[in-house]
């Protein structure tokens, strides 16, 4: 009896053991043995994309919209280099992925073999960790480690490079039950003394502010955050990555902060006396120039699982290293045992101030416009889906309008590339979201420039019958680029006009989908309704929008939070 398995069989068995239901990939010479094993089983279903970048984005969308690790499979050489954009995208937003790549046989490594690249070297700066498996005896433990590292601590993509001969050789298989790594021990439990200090600062605050980021979502801590905010009655703002971590329709929410954040959120950040930063990393798009935002004017508490996120751009007073969920549970428990409450009179005065800022109505736009305003499309999409859809986006103005006008009340509903800002992310990510949530409504808000970066995936959508709704805010410009050129480069619109656009309706139809072109504000609602009625069809809605519209508020680069350009 032969109980030995090939490396390819082991790879698939490991995925099965990890409970992987979908992997996103594209075949090639170095992974042929692995594809052969995929073919022989049906537990792990393979989704064939049309470009490796899309495989990784789809795995990424799958992970962001579920709580599972996303898995992608690519071949050596060009398969890997195509995947790099996807890997870097996931890395910047701390998304747990396992990427399996084929490699040339071990004996050919280093000889400039056909389709050889130094995969470990190329991906090193954009993965949480990577491995080259040179010995089949190490394969199963390596894959186990990859899943463990990807999903624990600050999550991130992990790549496992498997040479072709390793996938062909045989050995006995046993999937390790656990991993022990002496060099990797993520801390999840916060330091009790630090939590106590934080509680005291919170109780002493007169102008408190909660600033919550993607770490809340990654830590599955939306419930705890919501409890904390409501218990304290403090204003709460979310980063672009944190949207949905606290309900946008709650009265304590002041919306998104940062470069395109609301006036009230940015002013409250600038003027608060105690800032509670939760799973957020003081990004330059968020606090602008750190010179204008120091802990001399305010006390800062920072909860983050990654010590290197703490005091990186802004010095903080009370660092708490740990997972958001565990730390918040402890903090809430502690606050409940304390008799004092924050100064209610001061808090009321603070809210009066915040509401004055809110009354500035910074997101207003011309609702009576005869040309379609992109903001209106997002608002109507929000209404049409009753706020329950999964929304992916690409990168540009449309992304900001989506973030500003779709009110996310639940986590893992807003899927976008924040850290790397990868155009082309939206459509493939939406595919992954749909696989993870087969019954969910999934819409991709995109621009005519971004959508063309992964448009080939319309073919994948046809093959798997994915009923995505694509909302193309077509302003015939790389709008975000044009906006910067208008504001900072004397209206010289260098190469930002989108010439020679395809007829998106015909394009969608040629892929076997439904296409719609919407040119009148009065038609927005009807089109959306009709599109969502087509439950099993992909509908590409091409909205012809105002070319001159800009995203407001805006903090110009290098400026402080209160130096916003307003409408």
Ligand X SMILES: Cc1ncc(C[n+]2csc(CCOP(=O)(O)OP(=O)(O)O)c2C)c(N)n1
Q: How far apart are CA 63 and CA 67, in angstroms?
A: 6
Record the tokens describing residue 472, joined without a space.
């193309």
330 counts as catalytic? no
Record the tokens describing residue 277, joined without a space.
């930063």
For residue 542, report the phi and psi dihedrals to the nearest 5 degrees. -100, 100
The stretch near ligand X (CB under 6 A) out of 57-65, 105-113, 391-399, 536-544 is 391-399
Q: Is residue 423 a contact point for ligand X (CB under 6 A)?
A: yes
Q: How far apart are CA 139 and CA 134, in angstroms?
A: 8
**In DSSP terms, which residues pair with 45 in a beta bridge?**
22
Taking the complex as a whole, how short is the minimal distance between the CB of residue 397 and ligand X, in angstroms? 4
Q: Is residue 479 a contact point for Mg ion (CB under 5 A)?
A: yes
- From 4, 43, 45, 114, the catalytic residue: 114
99 binding partner (options ligand X, Mg ion, ligand FAD, none; Cβ < 5 to 8 Å by kind): none
Q: Please say which residue, 144 or 398, places its beta carbon nearer to Mg ion.
A: 398
Q: Which residues form the interface with ligand FAD (CB under 6 A)? A: 93-94, 154, 213-215, 218-219, 239-242, 256-261, 279-281, 283, 285-286, 304-306, 309, 323-324, 395, 399-400, 418-419, 421, 480
- From 128, 145, 164, 469, the catalytic residue: 164
422 binding partner (options ligand X, ligand FAD, other proteins, none; Cβ < 5 to 8 Å by kind): ligand X
184 binding partner (options other proteins, ligand FAD, Mg ion, none; Cβ < 5 to 8 Å by kind): other proteins
Q: Is residue 124 a contact point for other proteins (CB under 8 A)?
A: yes
Pick one of 161, 304, 448, 549: the residue that binds ligand X (CB under 6 A): 448
Pick one of 3, 178, 183, 352: the residue that binds other proteins (CB under 8 A): 183
164 counts as catalytic? yes
Beta strand residue intervals within 353-457, DSSP E: 390-393, 414-415, 442-447
Taking the complex as a whole, how short is the minimal distance between the CB of residue 442 and ligand X, in angstroms? 19
Taking the complex as a whole, how short is the minimal distance between the CB of residue 183 and other proteins, in angstroms? 4
Q: Is residue 447 a contact point for Mg ion (CB under 5 A)?
A: yes
Length of the chain: 567
Taking the complex as a whole, how short is the minimal distance between the CB of residue 261 and ligand X, in angstroms? 17
Q: Please say which residue, 379 or 448, places its beta carbon nearer to Mg ion.
A: 448
480 counts as catalytic? yes
Q: Is residue 426 a contact point for Mg ion (CB under 5 A)?
A: no
Residues 6+ apart with CB under 8 A from 55: 24, 25, 26, 47, 49, 72, 73, 74, 83, 86, 428
In this structure, are residues 157 and 72 in contact, taking their beta carbons and an 8 Å threshold? Answer: no
Give the per-residue SS3 of 190-228: CCHHHHHHHHHHHHHCCCEEEEECHHHHHCCCHHHHHHH
Half-sphere exposure at residue 442, Cβ-oriented, CA atoms within 13 angstroms: 31
Residue 272, sorted as left (phi over 0), alpha (psi -120 to 50) or beta, turns out to be beta
Residues 6+ apart with CB under 8 A from 502: 452
Minimal CB distance residue for ligand FAD: 214
- From 423, 480, 516, 541, the catalytic residue: 480
- Which DSSP symbol is given to 138? G
Q: Is 535 exposed, middle or buried (0-12, 13-18, 19+ CB in 10 A)?
A: exposed
Residues 6+ apart with CB under 8 A from 114: 29, 77, 104
Q: Please say which residue, 71 or 88, places its beta carbon nearer to ligand X.
A: 88
CA angle 413, 380, 262 (to 5 degrees): 65
400 counts as catalytic? no
Record the tokens describing residue 280, joined without a space.
């957020």
Q: Please say which residue, 190 or 432, places its beta carbon nearer to ligand FAD.
A: 190
Q: What's the chain's Rg over C-alpha atoms?
A: 24
Pick one of 143, 228, 384, 473: the residue that binds ligand X (CB under 6 A): 473
Q: Residue numbers of the site for other proteins (CB under 8 A)?
A: 120-121, 124-125, 128-129, 132, 149, 181-184, 306-308, 311-312, 315
Residues that bind ligand X (CB under 6 A): 394-398, 421-424, 447-450, 473, 475, 477-481
Enumerate the active-site residues. 52, 114-115, 164, 480
């Amino acid at each position: 009896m032969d109980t030995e398995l090939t490396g390819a069989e082991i790879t698939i068995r490991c995925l099965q053991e990890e409970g992987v239901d979908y992997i996103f990939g594209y075949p090639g010479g170095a992974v042929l043995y692995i594809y052969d094993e995929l073919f022989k089983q049906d537990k792990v279903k393979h989704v064939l994309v049309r470009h490796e970048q899309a495989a990784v984005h789809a795995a990424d969308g799958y992970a962001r919209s579920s709580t599972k690790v996303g898995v992608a499979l690519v071949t050596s050489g060009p398969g890997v280099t195509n995947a790099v954009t996807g890997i870097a995208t996931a890395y910047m937003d701390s998304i747990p992925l396992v990427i399996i790549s084929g490699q040339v046989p071990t004996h050919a490594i280093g000889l400039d073999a056909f389709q050889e690249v130094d995969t470990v070297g190329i991906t090193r700066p954009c993965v949480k960790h990577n491995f080259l498996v040179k010995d089949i005896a190490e394969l199963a433990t390596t894959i186990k480690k990859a899943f463990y590292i990807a999903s624990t601590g600050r999550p991130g993509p992990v790549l496992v490079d498997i040479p072709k001969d390793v996938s062909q050789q045989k050995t006995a298989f046993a999937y390790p039950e656990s991993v022990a790594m002496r060099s990797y021990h993520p801390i999840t439990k916060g330091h009790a003394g630090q939590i106590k200090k934080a509680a005291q600062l919170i109780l002493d605050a007169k102008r408190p502010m909660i600033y919550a980021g993607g770490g809340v979502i990654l830590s599955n801590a939306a419930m705890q955050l919501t409890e904390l905010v409501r218990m304290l009655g403090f204003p709460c703002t979310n980063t672009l990555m944190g949207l949905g971590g606290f309900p946008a329709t709650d009265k304590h929410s002041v919306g998104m902060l940062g470069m395109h954040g609301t006036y009230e959120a940015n002013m409250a950040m600038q003027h608060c006396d105690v800032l509670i930063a939760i799973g957020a990393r003081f990004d330059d798009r968020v606090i602008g120039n750190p010179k204008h935002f120091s802990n001399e004017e305010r006390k800062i508490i920072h909860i983050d699982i990654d010590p290197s996120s703490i005091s990186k751009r802004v010095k903080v007073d009370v660092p708490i290293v740990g997972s958001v969920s565990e730390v918040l549970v402890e903090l809430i428990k502690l606050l409940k045992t304390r008799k004092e409450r924050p100064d209610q009179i001061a808090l009321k005065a603070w809210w009066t101030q915040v509401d004055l800022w809110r009354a500035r109505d910074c997101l207003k736009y011309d609702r009576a416009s005869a040309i379609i305003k992109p903001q209106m499309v997002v608002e109507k999409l929000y209404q049409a889906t009753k706020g329950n859809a999964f929304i992916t986006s690409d990168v540009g103005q449309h992304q900001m309008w989506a973030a500003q006008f779709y009110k996310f009340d639940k986590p893992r509903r807003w899927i976008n590339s924040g850290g790397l800002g990868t155009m082309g992310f939206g459509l493939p990510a939406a595919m992954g979201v749909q696989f993870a949530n087969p019954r969910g409504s999934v819409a991709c808000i995109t621009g005519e420039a971004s959508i063309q970066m992964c448009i080939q995936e319309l073919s994948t959508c046809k093959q798997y019958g994915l009923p995505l709704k694509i909302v193309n805010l077509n302003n015939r410009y790389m709008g975000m680029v044009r906006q910067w050129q208008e504001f900072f480069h004397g209206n010289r619109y260098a190469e930002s006009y989108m010439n020679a656009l395809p007829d998106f309706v015909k394009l969608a139809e040629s892929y076997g989908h439904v296409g719609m072109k919407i040119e009148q504000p009065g038609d927005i609602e009807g089109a959306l309704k009709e599109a969502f009625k087509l439950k099993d069809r992909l509908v590409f809605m091409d909205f012809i929008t105002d070319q001159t519209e800009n995203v407001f508020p805006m903090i110009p680069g290098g400026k402080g939070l209160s130096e916003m350009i307003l409408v």
